[in-house]
Structures are given as C-alpha cells and as structure tokens.
Structure 1
Amino acid sequence: MSKTKEQIFDVKLFKRLFDYIKPYKVIFFGLIFLVIMLAALSAATPYITKYAIDESITNKVEKDFLFYIMLMLGVLVMQTVFQLLFIYYAAWLGQNLVMDVRVKLFDHLLRFKMKYYDNSSVGVLITRAVTDMERIADIFGEGLFMIVRDLLTMTVVFGVMVYLNVKLSLIVFIMMPVLLYATRIFQKYMKRAFEEVRTEVSNLNSFVQERLTGMKILQIFTREVTEYKKFKAINERHKKGWLKTVWYNSIFFPLADLFSSITIGLVAWYGGLNVVLESSSVSQGDLVAFIMFVPMLFRPLRQIADKFNTLQMGMVAATRVFKVIDTTSQIDDLGTHVAQSFNGNIKFDNVHFSYVPDEEVLKGISFDVKAGETVAIVGATGAGKSTIINLLNRFYEIGDGVISVDGINIKEVTLQSLRTQIAVVLQDVFLFADTILNNITLNHPEITEEQVYQAAKDIGIHDFIMSLPDGYHYNVKERGAMLSSGQRQLISFLRAYTTKPSILVLDEATSSVDSYSEQLIQNATDKITKGRTSIVIAHRLATIKKADKIIVMDAGQIVEQGTHDELLKKKDGYYRNLYEVQFLQEEELI
C-alpha cells in the first residue's frame, strides 16, 4: 500500500477501533442487518413504480393499482422505522465506544511519569480527551455505517437497473468513472485539510488554556495586546484550515450535482425518445424508474464523499488519541512488597538523577534519616531540594543509586502502597473546584467527615475552616481561588495529616503569607511532624532550628550535614553563610 493510500484509509487503525466494539457485538450486528435492509428497500419504490405505470397506468387498468400503492406505503413505513433504529443505534455504538476509549485514555494519563507532563501541553491533552473523542464517535455515528449503507444502496440500485434495462444503465454508468475519480481526488485533499484543522484546534486549546491560567501574569506585565496578536495569528491559521475544507466542498458537491443532472437529462432524452417512438426497449415505467434511480445512485456517492469527511476527521483524531495511549511513560510498578506501614528509616545511597540527559541535577547524594527524625533540607534555588521529594515518591526514576525505606528498595514496593505511606505537602498547593471537605479527603471512602473534623482540631485549624461560609462544605472554586495562599497551605497540611502517613515530606512555602496564617502553619507543622519521619524543605528559621538534622545542598550535591548549632560553628561554612544572609534578620525579628 502506498503512502497516499495509508493516509486516506488506515486499515490497522480501523482494526484497533473494532477491538473496542467487541462488548457491543449484538448492537454491531444489528446495525449490519439494518444496513442490509435499508439497502434492499432503497430500490423497492422505483421498482414498484415501474410496474404500477406499466401494468396499470399505461394500460389504464385499475386492477392491482391499489395493491402497488399500498405496497409502496408499506415499504416507506419499513424504511422509516429501520432508518430511525439505524441512526439511533449507530450513534449509541459510537458514544459507548468513545466512552471506553476515553476512560482508557484517562486511566493511562493518571499513570504517566511527571516527566511526560513536564514536556506536554495541557491544552493538547484536553483536546485529545474531549474534542478528538467526539470525532471518533462520529466515525460510527455519522461515518462508517453511513458509508457502508450508501455503498450497499448503490450496489442494489446498480443491480436492479441492469436487470430492468441494460441500455439505460449504460448511459448512467458512462458518467460514473468521472465522478469516482473526482471523489478520489476530493478525499485525498480533504484528508490533508482535516489534519491541518486538527493541529490548529490543538494549538488553539493549548494557547487559550495557558493564557487563562496565567491571566494574572499577563495583566501584571501588560501583555494583553501582544497575546491578542498571537491569538489572532493562531485563529487565522485555524480559519484558513477550515476554509480549505469549505473550498474543496464547494468544488466537489456542485460538480456531483452537475453530473447527476446531466445523467438524468441523457436518460430522459434517450428513454423519452424510445417511448415516443414506441420502441420496445424502453417502457414508460422504465423511464420513470430510471429517473428515480439516478439520484439514488449519485446521491449516495455524493454522501459517501461527505461522510468521508467525517470519517477522515475521526481517523485523524483516533490516530492522535492512540498515539497518547501508546506512549510508554509510566513508572515501572514491578514491586511485590505491599507496605502496610513504615517505621520511617530512609536512605539515599549514591543517588544520581537527570531531568535532561547528561545534565545531572543530583550528583551522587547519600544521606540517612532515622525513624521519627525531622530532617531539614536547605540550599539555593536549583540545588536539587525538590528533586529529592519527587524521587522519594517515585514521580521520576533515578538514574543510578538506591533509595530505600526500612531497608527495602522503593522499587520493590508497590507504587500505590509506597505513595499511600508518604504524604506530601507541596510548595505549589493545588485545590480542585470543590468543597474544602472533598479537597481534604479527595473522596477517599475510608476518611469520614468526623475524622476530618478531629484532625482539623488536632492541628489547630478547625476554627479557621468553620469561619468560612458553609464551613467544610465551602466551595473553593478552581485552584482554590476563594482562599488566600496561607489558607490553601493550611488545607494541604490537613489533607496530608488525615491520611495518617508513616512519612511526611513538606515543602513549606510561606512567602506572602500573613502572620496569622504563618503561625497556624507553624503550629500545624509542629503537630503533623511530631513522632513521624519528616523531610522538610525549610523556608523558615523556626523549622530549621527544630530539625534533628540539616542537609545543606548546592548544585546537586550535599555539602554539609549536621544540627543548626553544629553547622554554625563551621567557619566559612556554606550553611553559616546562608544563615547570615538569609536567616539572621529573621532571627533578630523573632
């Protein structure tokens, strides 16, 4: 198969889609039956009309005329019922198939490494999960079955025409090769146009999603005009892509109608001439039947081209969706040890890691955390502090070395049980557009509302939550927009605490937090770290001084370890310099 043919009709892609039809085999074969019946009935009305004219009207005989009329009425009723069932169940099958594909896609996305999302546009992924899925549904609802029905209709009509009158059939078929060739060219160019349209739709979704998310930054730096121009340029490309499809349609469909009209004219001319001359080769019934047959032969061909547009869009969308599904970017979950709980002994042994090949972020770091200890990690931006959090939870795979908990390599622990025992409070707190309660429990069935109340009281933020409208049932809107940064941080602390983890990992960001929220956060930190192994990326001096051990990092390496007092005693030490620059003023304020 040539490259062009592969582009127009991807057999492997259809085979893959048909795998999703297996649970709905009864509906599928029912649709096949309806397609066959509709095709068989399509030629019935002209065929009956021929005999009604030749046997009753031409001969002016009333006998059987009413029978022909009632027969046509019966055919019409059957066609209507079958058509209704066909349209509904074709769409039903398409929507159910797409539901299964969408669920599989989302399940796949849930298991991707963080690295995949680092390199992917959220807007593009949304397009794959929403817009492209609807195009796949159209393959069955408005594309494939419609095309099969029209092809069968043409075959039946073709057979009946030849059976009735070979000479009139030859006149009709003279025009067919030209229209078939035009259809082939049309399909080829429409394929390219739809690929361009889908690409620009993804670009539009990605651009709009990112700009809406970062609208505050755009307005702070007065970039509205610049971004408007960028959007206008992307929208212009999108418009041009669609106009190509409109242009191809505006050429092909008038040509198809022209060929149909010319064919009807030729049939009327030749058939009418034979009727006038009373030739035995063409009857009045033949002439009327063929005038009815010509649109029935040409219209399906025209519709096939139209439905092929839908089919092409669906195929392009399916190709893009399956490309995501085929992406192997999951963390290997080959562990067999199911962790019910951890004592909390953590060990990093000569761990190397790179986000980008040949650009190491961690350069062979080693350290131990004993059960129940609180370890603070400090260092300049980019030193590798947050990377340690990501690796402990296996959001990324290490390049070399071993990370173990209680003497067990974390790769030997099932991913779910590992992450269940490690709670993380990130610097960038994310809240869903939902109630505070659901943001805390994340709809975990084993965490009750009463447990959440008690946990909030334990860490001292129950009164804060109850002061909000509707309390725990207050909807914080998208990304927690109804709360301040300090309030969002408090919710994230409670979310971590309610899971009763064995290990806590905290990235305690308190920049731009009011003094009241900061005090609550400090109290919450003290409460949830008590008696638990905790790794804290420290931003406050109070937390650092309370830590059992401080790990000082610089450029992906551990340069110092020790307690606050021990590290201050090192003359010209990295921590001491950091303390004097960053923390001394804070201590004076305290």
Structure 2
Amino acid sequence: MLKLFRYLKPYWILVAAVLLLVFFQTLSELYLPTLMSDIVDKGVVKGDTDYIWRVGGTMLLVALGGMACSIAASFFSAKSASGFGKLLRGKLFKHVSNFSLEEFDKVGTASLITRTTNDITQVQQVMIMILRMMVMAPMMCIGGIIMAVSKDATLSLVLVVILPVLVGAIFLIAGKGIPLFKQIQKKIDRLNLVMREGLTGIRVIRSFNRISHESKRFDAANWDLTETSIKVNKIMAFMMPVMMIVMNLASVAIIWYGGLRIDKGHMLVGDLMAFLQYAMQIMFSLIMVSMMFVMIPRASASAVRINEVLDMAPVIKDEGTKRPAAGHKGYVEFRNVSFSYPGAEQPAVQNISFSAKPGEVTAIIGGTGSGKSTLISLIPRFYDVDEGSVLVDGTDVREMPQEVLRSKIGFVPQKAVLFSGTINENIRYGKEDATDEEVQHAARIAQASDFIAEMEQGFESPISQGGTNVSGGQKQRLSIARALVRNPEIYIFDDSFSALDFKTDAKLRAALKGETQESTVIIVAQRVSTVLDADRIIVMNESQIAGIGNHRELMETCEVYKEIVYSQLSEEEIA
C-alpha cells in the first residue's frame, strides 16, 4: 500500500496540515486531565473558587481549540483522501486504456471494474483513517504513559500488566481476520463476474429457460461472499467486547489501588482522576490501532490488486515513431505472418502473406475458427504478430505510433457496439468534428437513413446502453456509418453484414463501392454473396491460406472455396 502513497504528492500541503492539526488536538486532550487534576487538588480541596474559574476557563479554551483542530483535520483528511482516490482512479483508467486485448483477457473485465471502484474506495477510506490516527494513536499512547507515570509511577505498574493483554488480544484477533479480508476481494470479483454475465446474457438465459440455473449461480457466489464476510465480522466482533472488559478491569484496578495510595497519603484525589483518564486515553489509542488493524488488511489486499494492474506492462507498447511514406495511402501487406493466442497449442494464423491495395476490395472467407477475425485484428495492432510483419503504407505497424496507425482505419467489429447517447453522437464517435451533412451522408450510405427517419427525434433519438433499443441489423448499420464518417484510408468490415437481409446487404455494398473507391476495403464474411464481386478473395482454412484469387479463379483452383460456395448457393446462382 505504501507504493500508492506517491499519489498523495499533489496534496502534501493538506496532509501536512492534517498531521499538524492532529498533533495539536492530541496535545489538548493530553493537557485536559492535568488541568482537571489541578482544579480538584488546588481549587476544590482548598475552596479556591477564583482558581476553579480561572483554570476551568483555560480548560474550556483548550477543549474548544482541540475541537477546532479535530474538525479542520477531518475536513482536510477527507479532501486529500478524495483527491487521492480521484487521481488513482484516473491513473488506473488511463493505464487500462493502454492495455492490449491480451491484458484484458488475462485480468478480466469484471475484475478491472472491481479494482477501479471497490478496491480504490477501500484504500481511500483507510487513507482518511491513517491520516487521522497515524499521529494521534502513537502520540496519545506514549504521551498518556508519560503523563500517567508523572502522576504516580507506582500505580503505573497496573498498566504494565494490562497493556500486554490488550495488545496480545488485538494481534490474535487481527491475525485471524487478515487472510479472510484478502479472500473477500476475490469473492467480490466472482460475484461481479456472475452478475455481469447474467445481465449481459439475459436474452440467451431466457431463451434457454436457464433463469433458475443463473439464480443458483448468483446465490452460490453471493452466499460464498456473505459466509466469508460473516466469518470475518464475527472474529472482529470479539475485539470490542475484549477491549471493554480489559478497560473496565483496568479502571477497577486503578481505582482500587489508587484509593489505597490516597489513604496512605502517597497520592492526591485529583492525580488519581487524571491517572484514570490517562489510562483510558492509552487504551483508546490501542483501540484506534485495532480499528486500523481491521481496515488496513482489507485495504492492503485492495492495494495489492491495484498495484498488480498498475505494474502490468502492456504487451503492445506504443513506442513507434515512424511515419508512413508519403507515396503510400491505405496499402496493407502481410509478410509471412504467424500468431498464437497466449496459452494456445496451435497458431491462430500461420504463414500468411498477401496485400490489399487502395481502390480494391479484399474479402476474407472461411469456416468458423479458420482465423479470419484474428487476421484483421493484427492490422490495427490489437495483437502483435509472433512471426513476420504487417505493413501499412509500407511501414511495419509496430514501428508506427498507434494513434497514427488507427487514424487511417475505419473498423467495424463483428459484434456491433453502440454507446449510450444519441444516434448523432454514436456516428460522430468516428469523427468528432463531423458536420451534420457528413453524418447524414454516412447514415445514407450505411442504409440507416430510413429507420432513423422513422424515429421520433431522428438523429437526436437516444440509444440506450449497449444499443438494446435498436435491432441487430440497425446496430450494424450505425456501426458502419460510424466508420464511414471517418473517411479513412482503410476500411475493415469484420463480418459486419451478417445481421442484414440480402436486399439491404446488396444495396449497402453497391453504395460502399462508390464511397470507397480511393480506399482499401477488407471484408470478412461468412456469406458467399457478400464476397462474389470482390477484387481479391482470400480463403482461410485451418489457420492458413487455402487460396487467393477472384470468384472465377477460385472456383477452378480452390476446393475449400468450392465447398463453401456449393453449401450456400444453388446451381442457378453459381452459374
């Protein structure tokens, strides 16, 4: 957790102010019992009313000063801890934004959400406690012992017996609780994962009538977390009763032996009262420490999880400085490319070589799992190749700044993704400064104008989170419009026409042909009808290229392509 303290640096003035204020607050609390002792021994016993009023006024001022310091310290500690949380969340989000898909696959989306929200909140709460108690607890304990000994060194022997018992109880209870706090964070991850899957996959769950199964999964994860939380809270619940028993026994012992010393004339009544308060302060300081023992282990577990993400270096580093040559624009080339997913036994693609040129349509077709989507994921550098190289405009994508590379690409993913907002905002996601005419033109080319016009608010119609208020085909057309408005050098369509009917598909491809004449177009498709007119068709089979050519050439030379065609088209359509 100490590694995270560096994010407090911008708030060092506030932190210093908190520590100083807590220091003065502790001094005031240590001084009050002595003033009370003086009132009793010098004012009450001797009947000196003026002295009582004078010292009583001093006590009031000291108490008000301590209260003011406490309020100010609480305000500044909350402000600095909240700022710390804000900075840490921003740093974590920015760092995660640079992750490749490999890091997302490794950590998991549910876990990243928990770490960015729940874990940082845990650390933030403990930060407030540490700032308040880091100075107060040890100072009150040490100061209390010094003041108690100054009042009566012999009576202080009671503390020698009591304090080790109290400290031992704290360590014993905290030692049993710490491992359970670490388990809790992992179980929150699991609960988030089950809940996220249940919410995002609600259509599949209902269609297969698996609601009861998912409820059982959620109940199992929920009960697992609840059981661990109950167990750790039971252990921690012992702490306060143990503290109170020890404190009450200590009070009885101090009053008993203090009374005997007063009776023998070795101690004054005021000193006994002050000693009793100092003993309580010492034990309360240990209670503060015990509270920190309750919170810090959980925060430490959270801090470890946060540091795991912050220390995770992205596999794909944005260190490229080369700019593409001026003569090239949209030229894509694969040279002997091979790539395997982490932990996979077989390469996802291997020995791939081809080129895609501006003004041409390059289609990629093949069976499920043949490596089509993996292939095009290497162009925007979602993953880095294991062997060979992917070149864009004659430059290896690993040597280009990612921003420059991706600014050249209009990518339409296999699963259409829309964001909460309006249709206008979703299309403009491809180009922030796009004019209304550009947005409308992109929607028209993407065959989205008709259904947008039917909506009550047109282009200002709201899109719910995940685009759940539009159909699959409408989502795909809006995703295509988002890429079109960018007017990029390279268009990548990853099976982006699968939810469209044949008529809309044909109209869209005809409109795209006129729109993308100067760009490189790469289409991944399952349907043969989508790729028939492509200038170049790449046939994938078992992670390798089975054939390259146009439709007519492949029908003569590639058995895999012929099988795909005959499985989808009739004899009349093929002819």
Q: Do residues 578 (structure 1) and 558 (structure 2) align? A: no
From the superposition, tell whether residues 183 and 444 of structure 1 become closer, same or farther in structure 2 (CA, over 3 Å). farther
Give the count of matched residue pairs: 573
Normalised TM-score (structure 2): 0.95
The structural deviation recorded for 1:386 is: 0.7
- Aligned partners of 2:26 and 2:66 also within 8 Å: no
Q: Do residues 393 (structure 1) and 380 (structure 2) align? A: yes
SS in 1 for 2:318: coil
SS in 2 for 1:21: helix
Question: Distance in 2 between the 1:527 and 1:284 partners?
Answer: 100
Q: Do residues 141 (structure 1) and 167 (structure 2) align? A: no
Partner of 1:155: 142
From the superposition, tell whether residues 442 and 281 of structure 1 become closer, same or farther in structure 2 (CA, over 3 Å). farther
Question: Distance in 2 between the 1:217 and 1:97 partners?
Answer: 41
Q: Do residues 492 (structure 1) and 475 (structure 2) align? A: no
Question: Distance in 2 between the 1:219 and 1:44 partners?
Answer: 68
Partner of 1:451: 438
Partner of 1:209: 196
The answer to which of 335-344 and 384-393 deviates more is: 335-344
Partner of 2:279: 294
Opposite residue 569 of structure 1, the aligned amino acid is E
The structural deviation recorded for 1:541 is: 3.8
Partner of 2:333: 347
Q: Structure 2 matches for 1:332-343, cutoff 5 A? A: 332-339=317-324, 343=329
Question: Distance in 2 between the 1:443 and 1:473 partners?
Answer: 17
- Aligned partners of 1:147 and 1:307 also within 8 Å: no
Residue in structure 1 matching 2:299, options 286, 292, 314? 314
Question: Distance in 1 between the 2:101 and 2:572 partners?
Answer: 35
Question: Distance in 1 between the 2:46 and 2:430 partners?
Answer: 79
SS in 1 for 2:348: strand
The answer to which of 438-447 and 145-154 deviates more is: 438-447
- Aligned partners of 1:132 and 1:314 also within 8 Å: yes
Residue in structure 1 matching 2:395, options 395, 404, 408? 408
SS in 2 for 1:392: coil
The structural deviation recorded for 1:244 is: 2.0
The structural deviation recorded for 1:358 is: 4.1
The structural deviation recorded for 1:585 is: 7.4
- Aligned partners of 2:333 and 2:391 also within 8 Å: yes
Residue in structure 1 matching 2:89, options 85, 102, 115? 102
Question: Distance in 2 between the 1:450 and 1:180 partners?
Answer: 73
- Aligned partners of 1:344 and 1:372 also within 8 Å: no
Question: Distance in 2 between the 1:320 and 1:272 partners?
Answer: 54
Question: Distance in 2 between the 1:175 and 1:533 partners?
Answer: 81
Opposite residue 363 of structure 2, the aligned amino acid is A
Q: Do residues 220 (structure 1) and 220 (structure 2) align? A: no
Opposite residue 327 of structure 1, the aligned amino acid is M
Q: Structure 2 matches for 1:143-542, cutoff 5 A? A: 143-275=130-262, 277=263, 279-339=264-324, 343-355=329-341, 356-442=343-429, 445-514=432-501, 517-518=504-505, 521-542=508-529
Question: Distance in 1 between the 2:251 and 2:504 partners?
Answer: 82
Opposite residue 271 of structure 1, the aligned amino acid is G
- Aligned partners of 2:187 and 2:225 also within 8 Å: yes
Question: Distance in 1 between the 2:431 and 2:357 partners?
Answer: 30
Question: Distance in 2 between the 1:559 and 1:149 partners?
Answer: 74
- Aligned partners of 1:111 and 1:330 also within 8 Å: no
**Percent sequence identity over aligned pairs:** 28
Question: Distance in 2 between the 1:154 and 1:517 partners?
Answer: 78
The answer to which of 225-234 and 460-469 deviates more is: 460-469
The structural deviation recorded for 1:373 is: 1.0
From the superposition, tell whether residues 564 and 517 of structure 1 become closer, same or farther in structure 2 (CA, over 3 Å). closer
- Unaligned runs of 5+ residues in structure 1 are 1-12
SS in 2 for 1:551: strand
Opposite residue 425 of structure 2, the aligned amino acid is N
The structural deviation recorded for 1:339 is: 4.7
Question: Distance in 2 between the 1:113 and 1:188 partners?
Answer: 39
Partner of 2:76: 89
From the superposition, tell whether residues 428 and 545 of structure 1 become closer, same or farther in structure 2 (CA, over 3 Å). same
Partner of 1:5: none
Normalised TM-score (structure 1): 0.92
Opposite residue 183 of structure 2, the aligned amino acid is E
Partner of 1:112: 99
Deviation string, structure 1 residues 292-314 (Cα, Å, up to 9, x no partner): 22221112211221132112221
Q: Structure 2 matches for 1:70-81, cutoff 5 A? A: 70-81=57-68
From the superposition, tell whether residues 538 and 198 of structure 1 become closer, same or farther in structure 2 (CA, over 3 Å). closer
From the superposition, tell whether residues 370 and 509 of structure 1 become closer, same or farther in structure 2 (CA, over 3 Å). closer
From the superposition, tell whether residues 216 and 376 of structure 1 become closer, same or farther in structure 2 (CA, over 3 Å). same
- Aligned partners of 1:490 and 1:521 also within 8 Å: no
From the superposition, tell whether residues 216 and 522 of structure 1 become closer, same or farther in structure 2 (CA, over 3 Å). same
Question: Distance in 1 between the 2:402 and 2:390 partners?
Answer: 14
Question: Distance in 2 between the 1:469 and 1:80 partners?
Answer: 60
- Unaligned runs of 5+ residues in structure 2 are none
